[in-house]
Every structure is written in structure tokens, then in C-alpha cells.
Amino acid sequence: MASNLKGKKIAILATDGFEQAELTDPKKALDEAGATTFVIAPKSGEIKGWDEKEWGETVKVDKVLADANPNDYDALILPGGVMNPDHLRMDPAAVNFVRQFVSSGKTVAAICHGAWTLIEAGALTGKTVTSWPSLKTDIKNAGGHWVDQEVAIDGQFITSRKPDDIPAFNKAIIEAVSQGARDHASV
């Protein structure tokens, strides 16, 4: 993934219970591509990951959600895990941050259960997306079209299903940020 994202700022919105690989792997890939990533959370300090079946490592919070401005970032990543997006979609400040980001037209990438926050923000109407399979009905009920593939790209949205899809997810994010949000329906 030889790409130069120097000067690009990427927001990663998460809280306790994020699926560890779905935050740390994209963060590492984007940092290696030259971007600067910022973990944004509702609380300061650290947030704790979930590593498949048990608690994982903690990640340093770079900015508290209350102090974060969507206009300061070139893209937004929403990691999954079950607990993380379930808490975020119940947090009006997190939903508002996502809603503002979506309205900017900049790249928004969600993996696994991360699409729950996009649903709560009312962002998926008419969009083709993928996610963890259990969100299929939620996405359809929110007006989206669910597909079962490793990456779905629809305009500014990049979505993936699970940790196994992370390499394709990372590649799509890096391409989108380096080129700007794309307008084709699906890959």
C-alpha cells in the first residue's frame, strides 16, 4: 500500500469494547501510509479493546469527543465490536459527530457493528453497505441495501464485515483518502 497520506488527519471514533483489530490495524496502516490518526472517545485517558472473546489492550485517547470538531479531519473510521458501537449510538454527542461528518461528504468507514452508529445517525438511506451479518435487517430497516462482501463502497461510505476483511478495508480507506470520496456504488 504505497501511498502518501502526509498531512491527512483521520478520526477514529470509539469507546470501551471496540474490537481490537478493527481499531489498531487500520490505525497502523493509515499511520504507515503517512496519515495522522486520532482516537476520539467520549472520555479521556484510555479505552479498552475487546479481543475476540475477552478484554484486550487499551488504546490512548487522543481527543475527548466533546472537544472534537469533524471539520478538523479528512476521514472517519468507526470500528466494530458489539459493545463499542452500541454505547456510541446511545451517546447523542457521538451520533451528532457522525451526522456532521456524513454531511461534510468526507470518507466515512465502518467495519463490523460500526454501522450501528451510521444507522443511528440516519446516514444509510439508499446506501449499499456491508457489516457483520446480524446488522442486515437493521440496515434494511434504515433504508440501506445490505451486501455480503469484504468491502462495499458507496460514495463517501466504505464498509466491511469482520476482522478478516481488514486488509481490503484498509486499502479502500487509503485509496479514498488519497483520492477523495468516490462516487461509484460498490466494489
Beta carbons of 114 and 30 less than 8 angstroms apart: no
Where residue 60 falls (left for φ over 0; alpha for ψ -120 to 50; beta otherwise) is beta
Which CA distances in Å does 76 have to 14, 91, 114, 137? 11, 17, 11, 24
* Parallel/antiparallel/unpaired status of strands 9-13 and 36-41: parallel
Distance CA 43, CA 54 (A): 22
Amino acid at 166: I
Beta carbons of 76 and 8 less than 8 angstroms apart: no
Q: Is 113 a catalytic residue?
A: yes
Beta carbons of 152 and 135 less than 8 angstroms apart: no
Kindly list the catalytic residues. 112-113
